[in-house]
Amino acid sequence: MSAEINKGPVVGMRHVQALLIFLNITVMFLGRLNVGVSVVAMTNAETTNPDFPEYDWTEAEKSYILSSFFWGYIFTQFLGGYLCKRYGVKRVMFWGVFGSGVCSALTPLFIGFGEWQAYCGIRVLMGLAQGVVFPCIHQHLARWSPPKERNRLGALAHTGIECGNVSAMFFSGMIAKSSLGWPGISYVSAGCAFFWCAVWFGFAANNPTESRFIGKEELHFIESSLKHSEKYHKTIIPIPWKAIWTSAPFLALLVVRCSENWGLSTLQAEIPSYMNGVLDMDMKSNAFFSALPFLAMWIMSYIYLVTADVLMSKKSVTLTVLRKTYNTLAFWIPAVTLVGIGFLGKDQKNYAIALMTISVGVNSGQTIGSVLNTIDLSENHASILMGIVNTAANFVPIATPLVVGWIVEDNSDRTEWQIVFIIASVFFFVGNLVYLIFGTAVTQPWDAEDYLQIKEPELANGSNSQKTPKEESSFKINENTSR
């Protein structure tokens, strides 16, 4: 039975794996991004629960806390790409999320004896733990997703980003306001991480051939559609480093992901402070309206997904055109609306909230637009590409809060926030322009399993001039096979 005839079950283990990744990303972002609300709660106890300690931290110290996660996060991206190839995705992701959960559980204790310096320290450790996870996610999607379903499964899994954003912004504010206070934010995040680890341990598998629950029909469907060798899952394919680093489509992807992280990290980390300072909103309403843009982002991600499925099923556009179109919407609309936000004050807070909601909402198109492009370029090296991209891109969120802390000396000064939003707009515009010119969704030649194999006849003889007609014919066959 061919892969075209055997479409596999409508709902199978490949969808379970996508759901597990969705939950994984949600849990990671909950632990990563709740700091934006936590810092506001810890430094302004009157707006949350006054029964818990309040700290008098400067804007610069707050910026260190907001960026400290990424001090650790950038150092384990390459390591994650290597470890998941060496030991398998299941094991590496489990320990990464478990370590992140432990850090969340210990956060209130660390703050109690070391204040903002200790807060930075535990956030660095959390970043180190989470850093290995995203390269594993892209490798997992490459192993479990048939090419025709990859866009759908990958986009569904990555909507965990939006779910995590909403959860971090909204539920963190509610928890801080409750009897649990700001320490409860960390405890709830830790509990979610540990629960995910238990579910992942029971249902995850490195690839379809290792799954205890997959049916024969779905196994055949996935494995036959990927078109790899029989020993593929037991082989570590050499990495073509030079080809990767000299690939224009990959470098364009690197630029666009760095640009995205600058713009989105500005929105993620700074929205609570902007609303509290410029728009003069208390913590309860701040939590709701901070989450509202990311709720719009979550909803829009499904709208993008459905329209992409329709366009691809009707073959209205190529995958490259689809990615570039969605990425343009996701980058250039926020580039315009962010500038407008900076010119609105507390008397126009409704307009400011509307523009922020639009900015963040339409930005969800970047998942289909460029996030999944690592798998397009190379299924075999998706974890390595993601490791490189995430390492470079996550240097950006280290710098973003520091730049904001340097520019915004008075949290209520609207003119200072204007500069912050204009800088983010420039990154959005330029990054997408580079992607439009050089980006592609076509699999690159260096993805081939035998790309680095030595062409022995050519090296042994030096030239083709001394070959007999029979040898020449044999050489050409071998050469074409190696390609």
Q: pLDDT for 396-440, tens place per residue?
A: 877 887 788 788 877 777 788 888 888 989 999 999 999 999 999
**What is the pTM (predicted TM-score) of this model?**
0.75
* Among 40-44, 108-112, 124-128, 370-374, the least confident range: 40-44
At 335, the pLDDT band (50, 70, 90 cuts) reads: very high
- The answer to whether 27 and 193 have CB atoms below 8 angstroms apart is yes
13-452: what fold? Answer: Growth Hormone; Chain: A; (1.20.1250)
At 82, the pLDDT band (50, 70, 90 cuts) reads: confident
Q: Which residues contact 373 (CB under 8 A, 6 or more apart)?
A: 253, 323, 439, 441
Give me the mean pLDDT over the 37-53 stretch.
77
- CA 99 to the chain's CA centroid: 19
Instruction: Tell which wins on pLDDT, 395 or 248.
Output: 248
Q: Residue 326's pLDDT is what? A: 95
The answer on pLDDT for 469 being more than 50 is no
At 272, the pLDDT band (50, 70, 90 cuts) reads: low
CA distance 126 to 129: 5
Delimit the domains of the chain by residue range: 13-452
The answer on pLDDT for 463 being more than 50 is no
Q: Which residues contact 185 (CB under 8 A, 6 or more apart)?
A: 34, 37, 38, 41, 172, 175, 176
Q: Residue 359's pLDDT is what? A: 86
Name the burial class of residue 268, with classes exposed (0-12), middle (13-18) and buried (19+) by CB atoms within 10 angstroms of its CB.
buried
Q: Residue 37's pLDDT is what? A: 79
Give me the mean pLDDT over the 164-189 stretch.
84
At 393, the pLDDT band (50, 70, 90 cuts) reads: confident
Name the burial class of residue 462, with classes exposed (0-12), middle (13-18) and buried (19+) by CB atoms within 10 angstroms of its CB.
exposed
